[in-house]
Chain A
């Protein structure tokens, strides 16, 4: 008997496959990015349909149940994604600032020479 959590997992997985496909069709994702997110979503769907697949891993890591493992993996993924986004954002902020300041000074120097 399939549980509510499993249904949620399957729906989430299919939703992710659809969104990744849309991004690919809009040329926002490269084929590699589309492939990565589709595989990840497929893994979510499979693990929701067949949660016993991870039983050996769950037992080895001494988790009480598979859901605990998913939650921990989910948090780790979120923190990594957050760190990555923060790094990119900071790098872009510094580059934008340098560019805007350089353009302002160059324009002012050019105006001065006139």
Chain B
């Protein structure tokens, strides 16, 4: 429980935000009556990849850029490899594409499983006001051991996809411009297929849990906002949900398609970024509508709002239930990011099973060779958190002269701040601030499953720093725990 003492208290800070990937803090400014006046989601870490990769060879980037993150390294490797393929003007062989799709799907499953079962289920199962010391996966394991084990094994399966293909669970090697260095063996193919019944069942349990939670805690769900934004995701030619190799689609808050089947190489025509003073994350926006009206979201919720359909039958059924919540329009509730995430686990499993049954997936022909044929390359894929762009410019030797990485979480930055503000207004009333209220604010951020770096953070213990400023902005007191 946190009290903000004194009638001059005006600012509440949550530092760090827990159970997310990376480091961030939240600042809330209160007015004279103790109501929320403004909120800020500060990303206070700086990575610098765009700068220190200058001078490296573009062919090195699929090995370097996965180090940006320990949760979505495959997405970086895939987008990087695709940028390299554009520079070389080559296309991987079909087997290489299949194996790359498979490892990409594995990562989506891994990341989404971590987000739901490890980071978010503690709030759903133990309660938002539960003791922070046990409000984590270990607390879930103590009370719901079967679910905890299943969540752990779902993640284990998806890591095994990477390990069986590349030899490593994290920061896989072998995703290269041109395809995949190593093929999938027949033994590994069978080994992965053997997992399928279990992981489908685990996903079903997750879906049932989430739906039950929403039914039984409708009032709690209302603490999280409906943010009407634009949405961006990649889709297949027929508008189907597509994570690996789609074209860009923007839709507005009513579901009207604003731009469709855009080549990701044209992303700068449609996306601009604005820096802000309080965070290292910038504010991207949809250029044709400007800063104020161009805020868009990416990630699972966005992808299911832009897609016309899912590619696989089980996921399609869930997609129809999901979209029905919008009652003819889109689903704007930030809390439903969790539902969308579970649907994507399901669709990824279905698609992975199809790939594993494809006779060509074990072919040894997984890699095309090439050389630099043009200066510029842009690679795009849907990382677990949203659309990811790698944009490289090279000199005649293939050394990078410029690198631009547009990361999914950065594109959600304006919306995360907005969601935080809306949730804070509902849960913070007056000067007696309860710990559960702060957790709900963190929960608003957690819906987006932001990935702020490859850093980790403490779960269960919540170090907190509260800085109290008077009306003149002078720091008058500091509370720590």
* A, B co-complexed: no
